[in-house]
Chain A
Amino acid sequence: MTFVDREWLLTEQPASRRQARFGQAYRTWTSFRSNRLAMVGLGILVMLVLVAIFADVIAPYDPLRGGDLRTARLLPPSWTHLMGTDDQARDIFSRLVHGSRLTLMVVALVAVIATPIGLLVGTTAGYFGGWVDIVLMRITDIFLAFPRLILALAFVAALGPGIENAIIAIAITSWPPYARLARAETLTLREQDFINAARLQGASAPRIIWGYVVPLCMSSVIIRVTLDMAGIILTAAGLGFLGLGAQPPQPEWGAMIAGGRRFLIDYWWVATMPGLAIFVVSLGFNFLGDGLRDVLDPKGER
């Protein structure tokens, strides 16, 4: 590993585009690493991913099939059941471990669906300007006029409950801020020389947008999506809690809280543990996002 040493990364005269990019990434990483909260956030998320990948190995019990209903129901936390058992005699810890997959799936799918929509709408509006811009931004504003959870609720009510529909609803309600951001970036890029050069060479508008504008908007939009992740998790959990997201017996954390609600006073752990999981994960995303903002936007809050 002699050629990826610090000197190579931090050189003032990078010999190739790749070296310059790696060097930039390394500098970002070093300043990121000095942010303690952000590192904690990153640690939490790495754990989440690992837990999701190795769920079958980590979870000591089956997440869906419970134990003996006569003896293993609503047991308090102990060494055999780290977080106790729920009313179906299922091990809560095992359910949480498997639920991490659902959480990751929601976050990933929402990001995969909402980011391209936001990018497409924003860059198109910004690039063409005029009427296209007015119409597209009006539509964006209308979506922004509803609180996110409420609009998602209405969509899920229309589409029917279920985790797929919840993901679609959250994605539909998440793209407008990304469109706004992409549009603002596009406006600064639109009249630059390299875009004009491409246009003079006869590149079509879609080609310029996808080939030249979108890649440059990508990084800021991705950061924004990362900042939103905690919100996405909370919205998904809220939908699950209201019985509109993942359906039982799926071990979705929000739905698990709803399930434990009836036993709250006597068996506190049933509702408390899944909430703790949601809290820790979204705290991780928030710490990470906060750190990212500090590192990448030096004129921001700090």
Chain B
Amino acid sequence: MVGRARALPVLTRLAKIVVSLAVTLLGLLLVTFLIGRVVPVDPVLSVVGDRASQSTYDRVFLELGLDQPLVVQFWMYLQDVLRGDFGDSFLTKRPILDDIARVFPATLELATAGVLIGTILGIPLGVLAAVKQGKLADQIVRVVGLVGYSAPIFWLALLGLLVFYAQLGLVAGPGRVDITYEYDFTTKTGLLLLDTALQGRWEAFRNVFSHLILPACLLGYFSMAYISRMTRSFMLNELHQEYVTTARVKGVAEWRIVWVHALKNAAVPLVTVIVLSYMNLLEGSVLTETVFAWPGLGSYLTNSLQNADMNAVLGCTLVIGISFTALNLISDLLYSLLDPRVRRRR
């Protein structure tokens, strides 16, 4: 009896999530479809070229289904996308999805490194700011964060290249790996740091690392700005709770109250924040990758934009939108898994 009573809300909740997910995805598709329709680029011309005869033009026009009403066209688009067919790129002449699968690991590696750096630095800074609320340390963390919110990321990237690569020579320049090491190892996961480490190519590993470190630190700075700010506000919230007073009265050491009792409770919403900052980095990577010639999704997207390769642009937009939605879902699920209060309510 108890089992069934519990299973039902879980099922309705699951159904709700699935429905809202389906609606969002449908909406994402509708948006990219409609954007694709208002493009001044003639989709027929981009297939046949501008020297084709009128009859060829008409044939392709019909083949592409452009004589059909918009609803039918959307339906066809929907079927294509669900089959994993995003169309071909005009630029590389290959299916968009293959291209995206090829470049995605580079972005994944960069964004993950960025989030790691941001989390490792951001959480302690946020805790420090909360403990020293209103003091100098708090002000400094606040300003460092606001600077992170205010600087254009591509500008900081250029400055970083100028100082650490051109002037000081501390890090490697644009790209993911020097050409001398490119054939030193085989690409399996697409995450070069992992590939080189697994194959024991330590010199190549070092090279990959010195290429990665600067863009990763930049993205890390931006995610640190966000994470430290949120950590501060969650910690302030926790430090005013009664259990903290109780612990103090009991004589628990102050560091233990802060780092064990309070941080443990603040950690639950923080997980959501970290996932959200991952999403922000996906966005930030578009501009960063352009500067660092990082062969990831961002570079692919901007390159397609500059060549008016609409299929690729919309494909990337869709993939990023879908990953965004997925990350949102993951953060919701994590939240309900980790927070005992939410867990009980299910």
Show the binding face of A for B, using Cβ within 8 Å: 37, 138-139, 141-143, 145-151, 153-155, 157-160, 230, 234, 237-238, 241-244, 254, 257, 261, 264-265, 268, 271-272, 275, 278-279, 282-283, 285-287, 290, 301
Contact = CB atoms under 8 A, between A and B. Distances in A.
Contacts of A157: 35, 39, 305, 308, 310, 313
Nearest to A257: B155
Contacts of B175: none
Given A146-B324, A147-B324, A283-B146, A154 B152 contact: no
B295 to A, nearest CB: 17
Contacts of A261: 158, 291
Contact of A153 (B32, B36, B291, B317): B317
A158 B36 contact: yes
B18 to A, nearest CB: 15
Contacts of B317: 146, 150-151, 153-154
Interface of B: 23-24, 27-28, 30-32, 35-36, 38-40, 142-143, 146-147, 149-156, 158-159, 161-162, 166, 232-233, 236, 279-280, 282-283, 286-287, 290-291, 301-302, 305-306, 308, 310, 313-314, 316-317, 320-321, 324-325, 328
A154 B35 contact: yes
DSSP majority for the A interface? Answer: helix
B24 A244 contact: no
Max chain A C-beta neighbours (<10 A), residue from B39, B154, B290, B305: B154
Given A153-B301, A157-B310, A238 B152 contact: yes
A158 B34 CA distance: 10
Contacts of A149: 283, 286-287
Contacts of B147: 283
A241 B305 CA distance: 13
Contacts of A272: 155, 158-159, 162
Q: Which of A146, A243, A268 is most buried by chain B, counting CB atoms within 10 A of its CB?
A: A146
A265 B233 contact: no
A142 B290 CA distance: 27
A238 B287 contact: yes
A68 B308 CA distance: 36
B286 A271 contact: no
Contacts of A264: 158, 161-162, 166
A117 B142 CA distance: 33
Contacts of A242: 287, 290, 302, 305-306
A157 B154 CA distance: 20
B158 A243 contact: no
B173 to A, nearest CB: 10
A141 B158 contact: no
B254 to A, nearest CB: 22
Nearest to A141: B24
Nearest to A285: B150
B26 to A, nearest CB: 9
B282 A138 contact: no
Contacts of B27: 138-139, 141-142, 145
Contacts of A244: 305
B48 to A, nearest CB: 21
A155, A238, A244, A268 — most chain B CB neighbours (10 Å): A238
